[in-house]
Structure 1
């Protein structure tokens, strides 16, 4: 689960009541009233993760203290898996995963916990909760992962790659794998040939994470993989290298068969205006011509140089197009860029500019002024 676009209101009293009723149906002694009061005690300002933790804490309090017995109760509420498609809307399972993390991350409970997290993953995901096991019991968890890479359910196979990512969004970094990614690479070596695009995407994201802390290791691995020359692996390599390509890593460019000195010229680079207000858009266009005698594989980007506080300049790279331009061929590219304030980017008035970049080589720039109104 790599995003934060879900509303905190997913965890509401209605969902708590549903959990309570399901538990009561398989365990008659379950204290529904007190569980509901405690599990729904979050405020309207409580975030999604905070609400989930409150529900999980209530599960710890009101389920039997015997963890093995409680795990059986929880599992008894699960309906059979109808297909291998993960239901991302079924957040009801998330508090159960956190419950396992809180109650079951102990040596004597590992087998029970792994089995329950696996069942949760078939229906939702436990990629965050199982990271606690990777941190506290790395050997035991990795041993289980070596079995799960061959599981028939793609959600379980994806869990192996996704949960062990050193920089999984929404989660704390796993320092052990930042320093030494090889235990995870062993798993990815198997998963890179997975038939599921869902799994392949996770492998690519995992390798992209590795490239941020260990670019040489990532490039060495991806270089070896490239020799297999399979469509699925080539797709993984392309997406795994997106950060290194953006940074202009020469090894990454060469691996993706981008020329470091493309025989091209850029002409007619124009802006439709030189002054605009915050909230407006700016349209620019230019022509790229291959003047060489061979086809050129081109990665075309543009860089917007934003003004920040105290007139500091902050460049941001945007991908435009990846194409193969035949010899003596020209192409005109047009792009509209919006200057809207975002939660992740505040805009400031001042002198800005846009420059063009092909295969990480700069080709000209045009200035413009951004005003408040």
Structure 2
């Protein structure tokens, strides 16, 4: 089993960080810093650990933010050209990896009154880990300044800085605070994404795709219009960005978007859809069996997904779309596919006993359904 992420911010990492900070400033009280962190760290989850270490940094780093910023910058490890920032422990020559999450949190707290200076620190941090969480309070408090800075950073030599432009402004960033202003109106980010969707780095382009997919959850027509504008004549790299950006709307069966990808036509033919059992217990699987028999005179391109209507605590249901298959069916052909679907507890979903409806969706149209009863 993989080690929980929370263990990456640990007492050994804090001890190493204390030495790097003391090297950067002999007045930094390394022992006090470690002693402040140690008592509670192991009992905390990941985000709480980052917050707790940031509390200790606030107590020990210089009260003057500009002085504290200089200490942080001197304590940073060298940038490893050609490498992706990772969660690895700090390098022998300075801070990098997971320790920079609490350092970024410190900058986000203490630097809000000094945004220009704080942004230069975040520019350095993101090249060694990420500053996608730390930049978000500045977007809320100083949007004009930050977006002006980001407009320059889209051309930065570092792919990590360019990625921050997209990742830091994502309205629904996982683990990060949601940017409600950008959820309501994503237009300030769009000129930045238009540049970065053709970035030479796949690392940057993937962030753009995830950002556009975030936007699609609140402004689907905006993203459909984006694909309609930028897909015709697109090179392979941009096409991949737009396809990944479309994934939520494709799974939802958005017909105009499906048509842009050539899978918007109503399927001509017979659809069969069955389950291998009508009842399962929590943790077990049900096998879905699909058959498609074409009645068309030409090849049909199909996006086939399925929708599970999960029972909620109050007895109503909530639909969740699961990715199925992208198929081409020739004239008169019959195609059969199967898929196992497991209902087991996960952190983002609680299951309740009852009648779960499973719908088969072909090019955005529900064409068949079946029922499985979940027993808890």
Task: Indicate whether the TM-score tops 0.5.
Answer: yes
Q: Which residue of 1 aligns with 2:270?
A: 265
Q: Tell me whether 71-80 or 124-133 shows the greater mean CA deviation.
A: 71-80
Alpha carbons 2:269, 2:296 under 8 Å: kept: yes
CA distance in 1, matches of 2:184, 2:368: 39
Q: Secondary structure at the match of 1:265?
A: strand
| Correspondent of 1:334 among 321, 333, 338 | 338
Q: How does 1:116-195 map to 2 (within 5 A)?
A: 116-195=121-200
| Correspondent of 2:116 among 102, 111, 115 | 111
Alpha carbons 2:37, 2:56 under 8 Å: kept: yes
Q: Which residue of 1 aligns with 2:93?
A: none
Alpha carbons 1:265, 1:289 under 8 Å: kept: yes
Q: Secondary structure at the match of 1:83?
A: coil
Alpha carbons 1:84, 1:153 under 8 Å: kept: no
CA distance in 1, matches of 2:351, 2:185: 39
Question: Is the aligned partner of 1:67 residue 2:65?
Answer: yes
Q: Which residue of 2 aligns with 1:97?
A: 104
CA distance in 1, matches of 2:180, 2:318: 29
Alpha carbons 1:84, 1:154 under 8 Å: kept: no
- Go from structure 1 to structure 2 and tell me whether the alpha carbon gap of 1:84 and 1:105 turns closer, same or farther (over 3 Å shift): farther
CA distance in 2, matches of 1:213, 1:308: 23
Q: In the TM superposition, what is the alpha-carbon distance from 1:300 to its structure 2 partner? A: 0.7
Question: Is the aligned partner of 1:295 residue 2:289?
Answer: no
CA distance in 1, matches of 2:226, 2:274: 41
Q: Secondary structure at the match of 2:135?
A: helix
CA distance in 2, matches of 1:189, 1:166: 16
Over aligned residues, Cα RMSD in angstroms? Answer: 2.0
Question: Is the aligned partner of 1:353 residue 2:351?
Answer: no
Q: What is the CA deviation profile of residues 83-114 of structure 1, one whole-angstrom value per residue up to 9, with x for unaligned ones? A: 232232120111211111111122xx333222
CA distance in 1, matches of 2:194, 2:145: 19
CA distance in 1, matches of 2:284, 2:55: 48
CA distance in 1, matches of 2:363, 2:19: 58
CA distance in 2, matches of 1:99, 1:105: 10
CA distance in 2, matches of 1:103, 1:97: 10
CA distance in 1, matches of 2:337, 2:331: 17
CA distance in 2, matches of 1:217, 1:369: 38
Q: In the TM superposition, what is the alpha-carbon distance from 1:355 to its structure 2 partner? A: 2.6
CA distance in 2, matches of 1:127, 1:6: 21
Q: In the TM superposition, what is the alpha-carbon distance from 1:141 to its structure 2 partner? A: 0.8
CA distance in 2, matches of 1:275, 1:180: 45
- Go from structure 1 to structure 2 and tell me whether the alpha carbon gap of 1:346 and 1:53 turns closer, same or farther (over 3 Å shift): closer
Q: Tell me whether 32-41 or 130-139 shows the greater mean CA deviation.
A: 32-41
TM-score by length of 1: 0.91
CA distance in 2, matches of 1:300, 1:285: 12
Q: Which residue of 1 aligns with 2:91?
A: none
- Go from structure 1 to structure 2 and tell me whether the alpha carbon gap of 1:286 and 1:51 turns closer, same or farther (over 3 Å shift): closer
| Correspondent of 2:319 among 285, 307, 315 | 315
| Correspondent of 2:46 among 39, 45, 48 | 48
CA distance in 1, matches of 2:355, 2:348: 21
**Which runs of at least 4 in structure 1 moved beyond 4 Å after TM superposition?**
none
Alpha carbons 2:255, 2:264 under 8 Å: kept: no
* Structure 1, gaps ≥5 residues long: none
Q: Tell me whether 24-33 or 303-312 shows the greater mean CA deviation.
A: 303-312
Q: Which residue of 2 aligns with 1:77?
A: 75
Q: Tell me whether 345-354 or 191-200 shows the greater mean CA deviation.
A: 345-354
Q: Secondary structure at the match of 2:40?
A: coil
- Go from structure 1 to structure 2 and tell me whether the alpha carbon gap of 1:178 and 1:281 turns closer, same or farther (over 3 Å shift): closer
The aligned length equals: 365
CA distance in 1, matches of 2:51, 2:278: 51
TM-score by length of 2: 0.91
Q: In the TM superposition, what is the alpha-carbon distance from 1:292 to its structure 2 partner? A: 0.9
Q: Tell me whether 363-372 or 225-234 shows the greater mean CA deviation.
A: 363-372
